[in-house]
A and B are shown apart, each in its own frame.
Chain A
Amino acid sequence: MTVTPLGIPRRLLEFTIDGEPVRAPEGSTILDACRAAGKDVPTLCQGDTLTPKNACRVCVVEVEGSRTLVPACSRKAEPGMEVRTGTERARHSRKIVLELLASSVDLSTTPKVADWIKEYEAKPDRFGPDAARLDEEPRVDNDLYVRDYDKCILCYKCVDACGDQWQNTFAISVVGRGFDARIAVEHDAALTDSACVYCGNCIEVCPTGALSFKSEFDMRAAGTWQESEQTETTTVCAYCGVGCNLTLHVQDNEIVKVTSPHDNPVTHGNLCIKGRFGYQHVQNRD
């Protein structure tokens, strides 16, 4: 009766990536296998704590026998699969996806995207000065975090984190359709009139900085945000007995942001309002 379950052993699948044989545990995605093999495939909407949504399509690769390109982030590896990550066809789609995104939203705070734009020779300006953009103003309706949907690539990660994958608060949803689709709370109201509980788990997964701590937003606006000068220290939250791990981002001895390790067995990267935002008291220094 005292056996600790170890999980069902997983079989290894054999297939090829760019002609080289690889082995991956059953259930792995192509992306898992690519990363294990040291292949760089760009991703935006993929999140390590979330079920792949495969919405951005920047991770597409070619799979022999498939009519269309396939998203590496969600497609499970199959035995005998022949995957090609760097073909002209795959690179073309990635380039266009980057152009489409960069021409419609502000990617200035999206990590790595500038490098990819260079690598894929994407030219977002080619759609002309009149190309439709989201043109959203930042929504600052509370003191904890800001929603700047001009930076939103509609990756669905915040919706998934707020919804049944983690928080189960369901404060936000994709609203409307097509290019007019946006992330919004019910009746498109202010956050303060919504079901939001300010856990900030949406910020944790946002890949573009569309969602950010108010502290980060304000410091960026003031030009004082210096990520390179920040330290990250993981400690334990003091607000209840659950023992959530907090990673404190500190700049000039001030806590400016709080995250949690995504592989932590207690939090899986999630926190509540107190753990995420309740740090101010230690720095009420005068």
Chain B
Amino acid sequence: MDLHFGDSKPTDDERAAVDALLGPPESSWEGAARDEMQAADLRWARGGRAARDRRDLLLPGLHAINDRIGWISDGALDYLCRRLTVPPAEAYGVATFYAMFSVKPRPATVLHVCTDLACTAAGASDLCAGIEARLGPGSGVHVERSPCLGLCERAPAALAIKAGEPVRTAVSAPATVHEAVLAASAPDSAREEPPAALAVPQAGEEELVLLRRVGVVDPSSLDDYRAHGGYTALRRAFELGPAGVIREVTDSGLVGRGGAAFPTGRKWQATASQPDHPHYLVCNADESEPGTFKDRVLMEGDPYALVEAMTIAGYATGAHRGFLYLRGEYPRALRRLEHAITRARARGFLGEDVLGQGYAFDIEIRRGAGAYICGEETALFNSIEGYRGEPRAKPPFPVEKGLFGKPTVENNVETLVNVLPILTMGAPAYAAIGTERSTGPKLFCVSGSVDRPGVYELPFGATLGELLAKAGVRERLRAVLLGGAAGGFVRPDELDIPLTFEGTREAGTTLGSGVVMAFDDTVPLPQLLLRIAEFFRDESCGQCVPCRVGTVRQEEALHRIAERTGAAAAEDIALLREVGRAMRDASICGLGQTAWNAVESAIDRLGAYK
């Protein structure tokens, strides 16, 4: 491609960061210094398809620069583009899409302070103000108010990222001003994060299925995983054959746990039967729904389970490459999974010949970079492919045209790990758990006004009240948010809602991704609703008008009525409803379609602004 590059040159560090990912450039056309070039370079240059086909390394390349330098300069971006044959304008569009990247100079350390729902309820405003007072300009730390960091059980939370070689991270949660500042100034000497098991109040309990190993196994040890039943499911899968696995998964009644509740067996079958090849497997670990942290706990506490489950899913659907799209804000999960994949590969559980069964499968981790929308399945494909994380029009559906335009099965972490017990206990036994239409165990992320926040595993069918009782719900409960920012509020007198897909649907709300966030009356409801509206405005990708402008108009209206009630708010509530209806009806993807749900439920169910 005849790309245009400006005069900006990369620094040695920036060049090194890119070369560490891609290897040294092979010719001056790719960015090697002209004097290093052999004369043959000026006589023969390769390019074309092979050069253009590396676009999917753009996002890893941007991470490499951002990790090393802390921001992405013109020269660094141009160098990356030259290496990958990507037009600089497009790369700039991609770099500016993600909240974790900056194309303007900033200090090497960025402290992300969560101001989302659970943390706001836990005093994030004061925390933020305190931190910002301490870490002003010149402190060497850039403080960024951040959407949910997935640490709700330890709210309020902060995440420090210090660029360098290697990049260093430190989590402070529950954060105090002092500890957050310490984590940001010296991430290396910050206190070690508590083990993932501390986020599982039930850890060690006998009846756990999905969380059985969390806190029990050493998450770094493949052998310990195997000693606790690991890789028996994969062996069973090879016995059943791909069609047999799909039959088991179908019979188990498993439906997707990411929020849409689509039958997993049907999705696998649809992908497996596509004549177009290759097939891809994508694990959606971009857990960004405010209030959700179960996938993080699974990945941190039992990483090999996900590796095994992905291998089974790949086997069943005829995929030989799996992509694990991991949230950029999950440094520990990243380390654990990188380690687990390396170990599994070294031991023949991944690679050319998995378990000697003649099946080739491997997993690549791709890190998100701060974009809620990338949890949408098709936006996630675009993100992996090196484009802006904008959702695609459906149809065609991913099972037909997904990643790289090929048949793709995409499942979220929790969905995948359910496949292990399905295969080890058999579909009938699995289906016996839960209710008739919602089978199996379910993870819930309980946070907010409870004594024991964390991830809970219950069979489908337990009531909201039972779950909250387990978590030790506190007095003066004002509202419970189910399903996160895209979910809905319910009242304290609705605690008998059964926690099943059908039960919540009948109650006019949603289970979503399993968020259960309890609020007492210390947090003003309008403030929460504003935070939700602000979240969607920030996270809208901007592609379609209803969402791009609608989220702004809704936030404006909620600002206007923050202090108003009754007739004074009526006109704006009508406006919210009209705009919300068009957003739900006419937005391209689930983000715009559900952005107004929580606010609507607060008005209708909780009587906000009355």
User: A residues touching B (Cβ–Cβ < 8 Å)?
Assistant: 52, 54-58, 60, 68-69, 71, 74-76, 89, 92-93, 95-97, 100-101, 103-104, 126-128, 130-132, 153-154, 156, 163, 168, 170-181, 184-189, 193-195
- Residues of chain A with a CB closer than 8 A to B544's CB: 54-57
**B51-105: which residues lie under 8 A (CB-CB) from chain A?**
74, 77-78, 87-94, 96-97, 99, 103
B173 CB–A CB distance under 8 Å: no
Which single residue of chain B is at the shortest CB-CB distance from A95? Answer: B582
- Residues of chain A with a CB closer than 8 A to B543's CB: 55, 154, 156
Which single residue of chain B is at the shortest CB-CB distance from A101? Answer: B545
Which single residue of chain B is at the shortest CB-CB distance from A76? Answer: B395
Residue from B74, B549, B551, B556 having most chain A Cβ neighbours under 10 A: B549
Contact B545 A56 (CB under 8 A): yes
Quick one: which of B1, B92, B545 contacts A173, CB cutoff 8 A? B92
- Which one of B399-407, B435-443, B573-581 is at the A interface? B573-581
Contact B371 A177 (CB under 8 A): yes
User: A184 CA to B4 CA in the complex, in Å?
Assistant: 15
Contact B548 A178 (CB under 8 A): yes
B408 CB–A CB distance under 8 Å: no
Contact A179 B552 (CB under 8 A): yes
**B112-142: which residues lie under 8 A (CB-CB) from chain A?**
none
Contact B582 A181 (CB under 8 A): no
Contacts A57-B545, A176-B97 given; indicate if A127 touches B88 (C-beta within 8 A). no
Contact A127 B93 (CB under 8 A): no
Quick one: which of B6, B97, B548, B581 contacts A193, CB cutoff 8 A? B6
Quick one: which of B538, B548, B585 contacts A92, CB cutoff 8 A? B585
Contacts A57-B586, A177-B96 given; indicate if A92 touches B89 (C-beta within 8 A). no
User: A195 CA to B93 CA in the complex, in Å?
Assistant: 14
Closest-CB distance, B78 to chain A (whole angstroms): 8
Closest-CB distance, B149 to chain A (whole angstroms): 19
B234 CB–A CB distance under 8 Å: no
Contact A132 B545 (CB under 8 A): no
User: A68 CA to B99 CA in the complex, in Å?
Assistant: 29
**Interface residue SS majority, chain B:** helix
User: A149 CA to B381 CA in the complex, in Å?
Assistant: 29
Which single residue of chain B is at the shortest CB-CB distance from A62? Answer: B585
Contact A186 B92 (CB under 8 A): yes
Contacts A55-B544, A89-B585, A177-B371 given; indicate if A187 touches B103 (C-beta within 8 A). yes
Known: A100-B550, A195-B4. 19 other contacts (CB 8 A): A55-B543, A55-B544, A68-B585, A68-B593, A76-B395, A126-B575, A127-B553, A132-B556, A154-B545, A168-B1, A170-B90, A171-B4, A176-B96, A177-B538, A179-B542, A179-B552, A184-B92, A186-B78, A187-B92
Which single residue of chain B is at the shortest CB-CB distance from A73? Answer: B393
Contact B89 A173 (CB under 8 A): yes
Which single residue of chain B is at the shortest CB-CB distance from A156? Answer: B543
Interface size bucket, B side? 35 or more
User: A95 CA to B579 CA in the complex, in Å?
Assistant: 10
Contacts A54-B393, A126-B575, A194-B4 given; indicate if A101 touches B549 (C-beta within 8 A). yes
Contact A179 B587 (CB under 8 A): no
Residue from B99, B542, B578, B581 having most chain A Cβ neighbours under 10 A: B542
Contact B539 A178 (CB under 8 A): yes
Quick one: which of A75, A97, A153 contacts B582, CB cutoff 8 A? A97
Contact B540 A179 (CB under 8 A): yes
A-B contact pairs, 10 of them (CB 8 A): A58-B545, A68-B587, A96-B586, A97-B586, A103-B549, A104-B552, A178-B552, A181-B548, A184-B89, A186-B6
Residue from B96, B581, B584 having most chain A Cβ neighbours under 10 A: B96
User: A177 CA to B582 CA in the complex, in Å?
Assistant: 21
Contacts A60-B585, A74-B393, A96-B546 given; indicate if A175 touches B540 (C-beta within 8 A). no
- Residues of chain B with a CB closer than 8 A to A168's CB: 1
Quick one: which of A131, A184, A194 contacts B553, CB cutoff 8 A? A131
B40 CB–A CB distance under 8 Å: no
- Residues of chain B with a CB closer than 8 A to A96's CB: 546, 550, 578-579, 581-582, 586
Contact B545 A174 (CB under 8 A): no
